[in-house]
């Protein structure tokens, strides 16, 4: 829905660019966050954000969310739930506009799953490992559990070879 992997790199379509723009604009809405790392994948996202002005424990969070809604009300010192809810709501609204105005692929049911996965980053070593994982995620798409082809056929990259 957000683009495709070409030569192990993510190539965003218009919807993917819209998702990127909304993500990058979140600090304007929530001045207490810093965007650390992210990658938009064909059907989900991975991000690391820092929530500034909270105790050191739990300030960095990683989030992985798959398309499958949310609320746009910001809080003065927003928590992770507020931030992700706003992102989901705004991006869903804009995606629906893209479907109606530009013929984007409609999504079945919900664009984003109901919840998201979070993880507290506890030290620099862990942050480095997670950032590397996020940066390398497009290169791992052939074996990604969120890849619909992998879900349906397993790791069968051999069927794409010429003559198969």
State the pLDDT confidence band at 74, using cuts at 50, 70 and 90.
Answer: very low
More confident residue, 70 or 131: 131
Q: Quote the CA–CA distance of 11 and 3 in Å, as a whole number.
A: 6
Q: Is pLDDT at 21 greater than 50 in this prediction? A: yes
Query: Residue ranges of the domains in the chain?
Result: 3-147
Supply the pLDDT for residue 134: 94
Please give the C-alpha separations between residue 21 and each of 28, 32, 118, 153, in angstroms, as whole numbers.
12, 18, 22, 33
User: Between vectors from CA 11 to CA 109 and to CA 135, what angle results, nearest 5°?
Assistant: 95
Which tokens belong to 56? 């050191």
Third-level CATH fold of 3-147:
Alpha-Beta Plaits (3.30.70)
More confident residue, 77 or 73: 77
Of 83, 145, 104, 141, nearest to 17 by C-alpha is: 104
Rounded to the nearest angstrom, the gap between the alpha carbon of residue 52 and the centroid of all alpha carbons in its chain is 21
Which tokens belong to 101? 């105005």
Q: pLDDT tens digits, residue range 107-121?
A: 888 999 888 888 889
**34 class by beta-carbon count within 10 Å (0-12 exposed, 13-18 middle, 19+ buried):** middle
Of 61, 63, 79, nearest to 71 by C-alpha is: 79
State the pLDDT confidence band at 38, using cuts at 50, 70 and 90.
Answer: very high
pTM of the model: 0.75
């Amino acid at each position: 829905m957000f683009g495709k992997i070409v030569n192990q790199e993510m190539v965003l379509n218009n919807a993917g660019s819209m998702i990127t723009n909304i993500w990058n604009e979140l600090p304007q809405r929530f001045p207490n966050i810093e965007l650390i790392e992210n990658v938009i994948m064909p059907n989900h996202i991975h991000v690391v954000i820092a929530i500034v002005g909270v105790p050191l424990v739990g300030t960095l969070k990683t989030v992985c969310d798959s398309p499958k809604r949310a609320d746009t009300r910001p809080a003065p010192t927003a928590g992770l739930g507020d931030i992700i809810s706003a992102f989901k709501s705004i991006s869903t609204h804009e995606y629906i506009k893209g479907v109606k105005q530009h013929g984007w692929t409609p999504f079945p049911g919900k664009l984003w799953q109901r919840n998201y996965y979070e993880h507290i980053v506890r030290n620099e070593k862990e942050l480095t490992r997670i950032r590397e994982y996020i940066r390398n995620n497009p290169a791992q798409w052939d074996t990604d559990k969120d890849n619909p082809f992998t879900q349906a056929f397993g790791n069968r990259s051999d069927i794409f070879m010429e003559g198969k």
